[in-house]
Amino acid sequence: MSQFQNLSSRKMKLKLILSLVLISVGSPLDAAELLTYSGQMVGEKGDPAATTKRFTLAAVRDGRNEGGILHWIVVEDGRGAIPWPHSYGSSQWMDGNGINVQAATASRNNPQLLYKNEELKAYVAVTLPQLADGGKLNQESIWKQGPVTYRVTERQSVEGQQTWRVLGFTNFGVKRTFWVNDEGYIVRLRENVTIGRGDRFDLEYDLKNVEKLDEDTRGKVVTAFDVFNKFRTKVDIEKLEKEIVWDDQQLEAFREDIDRLVSVSADTPLSAVARLAQTDLKAQKGRSGGVATLMTRAIGKVVEEPGFELYRGSDYSEDAFTGNVTVLHFWEYRSSPLEQPYGQVGYLDFLYRKYKDEGVKVVGVVSNTLLEDPAERSRVRVNARKFASFMNLGFPIVADVKGYIGKIGDPRGAGAKLPLFIVLDQKGRIVHYKAGYYEVDRDLGLKSLDSVVKELLEAASE
């Protein structure tokens, strides 16, 4: 063999070695896996059939040398569901800094469930199925995170996999138990959850399937999650909300991006989220069109003899609907579940106290379907009074016992939700109709409503 041939052979070997080094250092471990979990949440009391909520958790585990990223989605079945922009996320885990379990409440770094019944709506954190440094567990492993101490108790086989059984406990007893395989991800979890006023539930999930992803599929998943995560940032929906009320600017961005969200999510776990997004956008279009029609019909109507029944306060008379600027706030006024932003009554009370000496009246109108049943009205009254007292509201509370909201234009009939804000001018005519929440100004509160009231006062003084 010539010197040139020897040199070429050495170069080829060197290139091969370098390429292997680059693969091992700079690229994902071979690597990406789709983990699919089946889970449920069941009340400790009551009929399991009535309290059970089921869910599916899918997580693409994209491992790297010093940790990796979990791209996850959660799909819920029964007892409510979180808004779709909160049903997905990307969470990083870092190896080398000690064993760590991510199970934060109300955090976008964790999958979340929404549990809903007649008394409450509560977020429930789902433990991220990947442990930082999870592959380093051994019989002696013990660590503490916040109030929870974790300890490896024994080696067990789960569905054919060798795992470490980990017990997490607080001063009050066992919080969660999970089984972790040698690759550092959870294959089974059992957890005690308390929500609302001490209601206890058993939350569990089990690994049902592991699918290796080729590099092309992994690339599609990474791109899809990147697009979806950027969309959420673009429309400024970073904070977890139990209900999202899209404003006009957000809806415009939603319409612009929906086709991109659908196309990029094809053949990835996010396709399920994209379908929810499409359904939501169609509903938003229907609501906005229906509400716009109701608003057009309402403007100019005179509110007279609505037959409201006084529940709380003394500064109320239907005769005052003329001669004053009046804001009617139709909402349920329930004392439970207590959920922010509480129908925006805090901001409304601020506006009332600001303008009450200038001839502005604010009336909270209880609009609850239970009012249709005379036997339930006493319970509605108690709830409304309790809520108004809790919020220390200065304006009176009445009940729409005759369903007058239907004559004005009930937005619920168009698929929208309360609250409904109605502004009457000094002649008792409807001059402003707003279904849903206002954007909040840092200094003025409900700035748009404030502007309407201020303009009416200024026009009367001219």
CATH of the domain at 178: 2.40.360
Tell me what the mean pLDDT of segment 305-322 comes to.
90
> 3-state DSSP helix/strand/coil percent for the chain, to nearest 5?
35, 30, 30
| Per-residue pLDDT, 138 | 94
In whole angstroms, what is the distance from residue 436 CA to residue 421 CA?
Answer: 8
How many CA within 13 A on the CB side of residue 198?
0
| Per-residue pLDDT, 439 | 85
Q: Are 261 and 272 in contact (CB under 8 A)?
A: no
Asked whether residue 10 falls in the same domain as residue 57, the answer is no
Name the β-bridge partners of 76.
55
In whole angstroms, what is the distance from residue 257 CA to residue 248 CA?
Answer: 14
Asked whether residue 35 falls in the same domain as residue 18, the answer is no
In whole angstroms, what is the distance from residue 393 CA to residue 153 CA?
Answer: 54
Segment among 19-23, 153-157, 226-230 with least mean pLDDT: 19-23
Token pair recorded at residue 31: 């690597």
How many angstroms from the chain centroid is the CA of residue 317? 40
Residues above pLDDT 70, as percent of the chain? 93
∠ Cα 195 198 200 (to 5°): 65
Q: CATH number of the domain at 343, please.
A: 3.40.30.10
How many CA within 13 A on the CB side of residue 161?
20
| Per-residue pLDDT, 65 | 63
Asked whether residue 73 falls in the same domain as residue 194, the answer is yes
Three-class secondary structure of residue 407 per DSSP:
helix
Q: Is the pLDDT of residue 293 over 80?
A: yes
**Which domain, by its residues, includes 151?**
31-213
In whole angstroms, what is the distance from residue 170 CA to residue 176 CA?
Answer: 10
Q: Are 396 and 364 in contact (CB under 8 A)?
A: yes
| Per-residue pLDDT, 14 | 39
Asked whether residue 59 falls in the same domain as residue 76, the answer is yes
Q: How many domains does the chain have?
A: 3
Inside any domain, residue 250: no
Q: Is the pLDDT of residue 210 over 80?
A: yes
* 45 DSSP assignment: S
Q: If pLDDT is split at 50, 70 and 90, which confidence band does 63 have?
A: confident
Inside any domain, residue 418: yes
Q: Is the pLDDT of residue 108 over 80?
A: no
In whole angstroms, what is the distance from residue 432 CA to residue 16 CA?
Answer: 73
pLDDT tens digits for 261-291? 999 999 999 999 999 999 999 888 777 788 8
Tell me the pTM.
0.74
Give me the phi and psi of 288, to 5 degrees please.
-65, -40
Asked whether residue 433 falls in the same domain as residue 360, the answer is yes
Give me the phi and psi of 444, to 5 degrees please.
-100, -5
Asked whether residue 52 falls in the same domain as residue 168, the answer is yes
Inside any domain, residue 269: no
Q: Are 352 and 449 in contact (CB under 8 A)?
A: no
Inside any domain, residue 224: no
Inside any domain, residue 386: yes
Asked whether residue 402 falls in the same domain as residue 446, the answer is yes
Which of 152, 179, 213 is the last residue in one of the domains? 213
Q: If pLDDT is split at 50, 70 and 90, which confidence band does 97 have?
A: confident
Inside any domain, residue 282: no
Asked whether residue 199 falls in the same domain as residue 317, the answer is no
For the ranges 238-242, 316-320, 452-456, the one whose mean pLDDT is highest: 452-456
Asked whether residue 16 falls in the same domain as residue 112, the answer is no
Which of 161, 183, 213 is the last residue in one of the domains? 213
Between these two residues, 441 and 238, which has the higher pLDDT value?
441
Q: If pLDDT is split at 50, 70 and 90, which confidence band does 21 have?
A: very low
pLDDT tens digits for 329-380? 999 998 877 777 888 999 999 999 999 999 999 999 999 989 988 889 999 9
| Per-residue pLDDT, 458 | 92
For the ranges 6-15, 100-109, 151-160, the one whose mean pLDDT is highest: 151-160
| Per-residue pLDDT, 266 | 96
pLDDT tens digits for 250-267? 889 999 999 999 999 999
Asked whether residue 337 falls in the same domain as residue 394, the answer is yes
* Angle between helix 345-355 and helix 377-391 axes, rounded to 10 deg: 70
| Per-residue pLDDT, 239 | 80
Inside any domain, residue 338: yes
Q: If pLDDT is split at 50, 70 and 90, which confidence band does 106 have?
A: low
Tell me what the mean pLDDT of segment 425-438 comes to.
94
Inside any domain, residue 268: no
Q: Are 66 and 94 in contact (CB under 8 A)?
A: yes
Which of 192, 213, 234 is the last residue in one of the domains? 213
Question: How many Cβ atoms from other residues are within 10 Å of residue 402's Cβ?
Answer: 14
| Per-residue pLDDT, 20 | 36
Q: If pLDDT is split at 50, 70 and 90, which confidence band does 200 have?
A: very high
Asked whether residue 108 falls in the same domain as residue 193, the answer is yes
Segment among 60-69, 142-151, 263-272 with least mean pLDDT: 60-69
Asked whether residue 14 falls in the same domain as residue 131, the answer is no
